[in-house]
Amino acid sequence: MNPPDAVQQVWVFVKESDQWHHQPLFLALLDVLRREGVAGATVLRGVAGYGAQRQVHTATLVELASDLPLVLVFVDRADRVARVLPQLSAMMQGGLISIVPAQVAHMAPRAPGPFPPHLTVADVMTRDIAQVSPDAPVQDIVTLLIDRALRALPVVDADRRVVGIITDGDLLTRGAIDLSVEIQRALPLAERAVQVANLAAQPHRAADLMTPHPVTLPATRPLAQAAAIMAERNLKRMPVVDAQGRLLGMVSRYDLLKTVAEGLRQHPAAAVELPAGTPATVGAVMHGGVPIVRADAPLAEVLDRLLATEKRRVVVLDAASRVVGIITDGDLIQRAAKRARPGGLQALIGWLGGGPRPAELEMAVQGRTAADIMTSPVVTVTPSTPVAEAIRLMMAHKIKRLPVVDADGRLIGLVGRAGVLAAISHDTAPPPPAEGNP
C-alpha cells in the first residue's frame, strides 16, 4: 500500500456471538481479508454499547456473559476495499459496515527479506485440497487431476496421515497413462471422456503409483524456511501436515512466489533485501540449452522437436533469432487440432502418447507452420532484470518460464519458477530439515 494511493478506513461492526460456518464471524472475516492481501486488520472488543435493538451490553463483572459488540478495523487502498467489500457483506446477516476516507501519515518499512517473517506455511497453503486413499483406481486419480486442474494428489490413510503423493510424472513413468494430464485436460470433452473411460481396465491403484513417504512441511514452518527446503530438493509442491502427520493442505512454488509478488506490489518503492550471496539478476539463475524452432518451420518439424524435449515446450524465433512465440504440447491440441483433417486429432493423440508418427498426421499438418499455433507475444526479460522483477512478471502473467533475451531481443536463455525461488532462498546456512524421507 502506497501513501499516495486513495486509502480508506473500514469499520465492520458485528456481535461476539455471530457465526459463519461454525466459527466466529470475526475470525472468518479476518481470514477473507488475509487471503485477499489486505495489509492488516484489527478486531476491537467493546466495553459497552447498544445496537438497533437498543439493549445495552457492558463488560462489567456482572454482565460478562453479555453479547458484546466487536469492531473489525482495516485500512487499505480503495480498489482493494471495493474488491473485498462484497465478500464481507455476504457473510453478515446483521451488523454494520462503514467506510471513511483516510490519509496514511506513516507506514512501517517493508521487513527485510523476500518473505514476511510473521507468515508461516499455514498462511499461504491451499486448504481445500483433493486427496485419495491408497486403493484409489487410476481412473479416479486422473479424473480428479483433470477436473480440479491439479498436478499432484496426496495419498492419505484412514487417519488422514500422508503416506504418498502422486504426480502427473508418476502416472507417466509408471505406465498408468500414455498422455500427460495436461494434454488430456486440453482435449475436446468427447475425446477426453474416451481417454478417461479407457483407464477403467487399469489394474493399478494409488499405492502402486505413488511416491511413498513424501517430504512434508509442518504448518508452522516459516515461509523462508519452506522456500529453502523446496528449492534445495527441487520440489514444485509439498503436503502440509499437523504435528501428528495429518494432511492440512498443500503449498507450492506458486504460493510462495505469489506471496513475494504481493509484497512487491504493496511496497513497489522498497527494495527487497535478499540473503547474503543471493543472485540479484536473472543472468545468474537462467539456463541455456533452450529448445527452439523457427517461425516458418513446418508443423511436422515442430512436432518432432516437441517430442524430443522433456518439458514439451519450444521457443519460436524469427530469422534474426528474436523471440516471437512459445509452443507447448497443449497448444498443439488446442489450436492445431481445431483445423486438423479427419483423423488428425486421433493421429496426434497417438503420436503424443509415444506411438510412431502415422502417415495421416503428415497430411493433417501439411502446409502449417510454427507461427500458426504459437502463443504470441511473449513476455521476456534480460540478464540484467532483477530477480524480484522476474517474479513479479511471472505472477502477473501467470506463466512458469520467461525467455531471457539480449538488447536486440535475441534468445540467450530461459528462467523459471525453480530458478527464481532458489535465488531468493539462497543462504550460506543449510535449510532446516523437513518431515519425511529425503
Are 142 and 261 within one domain? Answer: yes
- Nearest of 252, 248, 236, 245 to residue 162 by alpha carbon: 245
H or E, element range at 237: strand 237-241
At 355 the pLDDT is 61
- Nearest of 125, 15, 18, 6 to residue 76 by alpha carbon: 6
* Residue 242 grid coordinates: 499437523
At 103 the pLDDT is 85
At 263 the pLDDT is 76
Residue 35 one-letter amino acid = R
What pTM was estimated for this model as a whole? 0.66
The two beta strands, 7-15 and 41-45, are unpaired
Is residue 319 in a domain?
Answer: no
Are 93 and 127 within one domain? Answer: no
DSSP 188-232: -HHHHHHHHHGGGG---BHHHHSEES--BEETT-BHHHHHHHHHH
What does the alpha-carbon distance between residue 11 and residue 76 come to, in Å, rounded to a whole number? Answer: 12
Are 164 and 28 within one domain? Answer: no
- DSSP, res 32: H
What are the strands, taking DSSP E only, across 47-195? 48-49, 57-58, 69-77, 96-102, 152-156, 162-167
Domain end point (choices 222, 246, 266): 266
Total structural domains within the chain: 2
- Nearest of 303, 274, 311, 328 to residue 416 by alpha carbon: 311
Are residues 417 and 257 in contact, defined by beta-carbon separation less than 8 angstroms? yes
Are 91 and 128 within one domain? Answer: no
Residue 47 buriedness (CB in 10 A; 0-12 / 13-18 / 19+)? exposed
CATH code, domain with 190: 3.10.580.10
Are 87 and 165 within one domain? Answer: no
**Helices then strands, each counted (H, E), the chain:** 17, 19
At 229 the pLDDT is 92
At 382 the pLDDT is 96
DSSP bridge partners of 404? 381, 413
Are residues 229 and 217 in contact, defined by beta-carbon separation less than 8 angstroms? yes
Q: Which domain holds residue 33?
A: 7-102
* Residue 122 grid coordinates: 499455514
Q: What is the side-by-side strand order in the sheet with 41-45?
A: 41-45, 69-77, 7-15, 96-102
At 58 the pLDDT is 57
Are 16 and 133 within one domain? Answer: no
Mean pLDDT by groups of 10 residues along the chain of 438 residues: 68 90 90 76 78 54 57 88 91 90 73 74 91 95 91 94 93 84 79 86 91 93 91 93 93 92 69 67 91 91 82 91 90 63 60 62 70 91 93 91 94 94 67 51
Is residue 164 in a domain?
Answer: yes
Q: How far apart are the first and last CA of the chain?
A: 40
Are 144 and 206 within one domain? Answer: yes
Domain end point (choices 217, 246, 266): 266
